[in-house]
Amino acid sequence: MTEQYAVIGYPLGYSLSPALHNFFFSEENIDATYVSYPLKKEELGELFKSKKFKGFNVTIPYKEDALPLCDELTDTAKQIGAVNTVKLVNGKYIGTNTDAPGFSLMLKEDANFELLNKNILLLGAGGAAKAITYTALNEKCKKIVVSDISSERANGIKTQYADNRIETILAKDFINVIPDMDLIINTTPIGMENTIDQSVLSYEQLSLAKKTCLVVDIIYSPPETKLMKIASSLGLQTINGLGMLAGQGILGEMFWFLKSLRYNISKEVFLRAIKSGVSNK
């Protein structure tokens, strides 16, 4: 019997995940199919009870809502406080979070960059920022400076992890911290869709960065955001978030099947899907 897998969220629009995982099923001769499955919040609990899917991914806005609905959680999911990958084992749904290690995998594969002893400026304090903070702390970064339009959310990350390597700042203080940063990460939506001509940092602010600073924007559509264009014009290395999506995807496959596609193949599948007109969510 064909096993069912899915990505759940609302509104989903089109997703790149089916392209990745259905290609994986085909390559590995796995009798399974993966679909986009939009559902409203009030339907979430019923989905977990139904055990409809053998495994599924959770995307915006349900990563935190899914946490208490899982029968069991990995330590990673517990510490981050969000779930993005779920599997059915002996009638129980087990939830984990592959966003965190997926981000680290992207850094290593795309930029040969390790988080050990690095100073990091994290722009935004939502779910992705929480996962990145978890990975950076685990990989022994030196310092994480968090800035968000909501100081309450920024301070929430500091409280959640209770680690003295985490600092929070206001945007007006960027000038004081950017010169010391090894890695700058945008996790805000600024730079996509209706803010495509905007950058979370200005040319003047980015010009303070040292030439070895890596600038990462977890947005991948457009493939080069305004932030990345400014950084490139200053001679800084940049990468977008397509690799994070690929990383979390193949780590999800590993969670489900103990095997996965290779990283470079996963990115190629995504690029082909984008080129063929599949939407960019």
Mean pLDDT throughout 16-23?
Answer: 96
CA-closest candidate to residue 20, choices 219, 245, 222: 245
Residues 189, 112 share a domain: yes
Would you please indicate which residues are annotated as catalytic (active-site) residues?
A: 63
Say what the pLDDT of residue 279 is.
Answer: 46
CATH code for the domain of 201: 3.40.50.720
Please give the torsion angle defined by the CA atoms of residues 149, 101, 258 and 27, in that order, rounded to the nearest 10 degrees: 70
Identify the domain containing residue 43 by its residue range.
3-97+243-275
CB 150 within 8 A of CB 125: yes
CATH code for the domain of 254: 3.40.50.10860
Residues 197, 114 share a domain: yes
Which phi and psi (to 5°) does residue 87 adopt? Answer: -135, 150
Residue 280: pLDDT over 60: no
Which residue in this structure is represented by tokens 């997703």? 15
Mean pLDDT throughout 228-245?
Answer: 97
CB 253 within 8 A of CB 28: no
Q: How many domains does the chain have?
A: 2
Rounded distance between C-alpha atoms, residue 127 and residue 208, angstroms: 28
Residue 65: pLDDT over 60: yes
Within a domain: 280? no
Within a domain: 7? yes
pLDDT tens per residue across span 154-212: 999 999 999 999 999 998 899 999 999 999 999 999 998 889 999 999 999 999 999 99
CB 66 within 8 A of CB 86: yes
Q: Is the link from the previous residue into 38 a cis peptide, with omega within 30 of 0? A: no
- Amino acid at residue number 68: P
- Amino acid at residue number 60: I
pLDDT grade for 13, boundaries at 50, 70 and 90: confident
Residues 232, 117 share a domain: yes
Which phi and psi (to 5°) does residue 279 adopt? Answer: -65, 175
Residues 90, 29 share a domain: yes
Within a domain: 281? no
Say what the pLDDT of residue 127 is.
Answer: 85
Rounded distance between C-alpha atoms, residue 90 and residue 54, angstroms: 11
pLDDT grade for 119, boundaries at 50, 70 and 90: very high
Mean pLDDT throughout 103-109?
Answer: 97
Within a domain: 25? yes
| Stated pTM of the model | 0.91
